[in-house]
Structure 1
């Protein structure tokens, strides 16, 4: 009985670090071709360089 209970609880305990994960930080990116800015949590790819950050919101604003 105790072994069955342990086997039922073990997957929940293994997932505990995943449940406490924080959201990805946002960064302001600048286009190397046009000079325009955008805010994104992921790298937009070639032709962009990270300009500022990290921010905790999708508007790349500090409050």
Structure 2
């Protein structure tokens, strides 16, 4: 039982080690034109304008390998 538990824990840790941070996107308000940098959609009334970026200021482009 302890071997099975250690295999499960090792599998979870390996998956977490390979995870990458979520990219940032520049979002624009449909109604006012305001722009915001965020990782997740802001809801209805916002559209994805540019991206992805590596930083929270939406200045450094995200490059895939």
**TM-score tier after normalising by the smaller chain length:** 0.7 to 0.9
Question: Aligned to 1:41, which of 26, 39, 44?
Answer: 39
TM superposition shift of 1:13 = 2.3
The alignment's TM-score, normalised by the length of structure 1, stands at 0.81
The alignment's TM-score, normalised by the length of structure 2, stands at 0.79
Structure 2 unaligned blocks of 5 or more: none
C-alpha separation in 1, matches of 2:28 and 2:53: 15
- CA RMSD in angstroms comes to 1.8
Runs (4 or more) in structure 1 with deviation over 3 Å come to: none
Aligned residues between the structures? 60
Structure 1 unaligned blocks of 5 or more: none
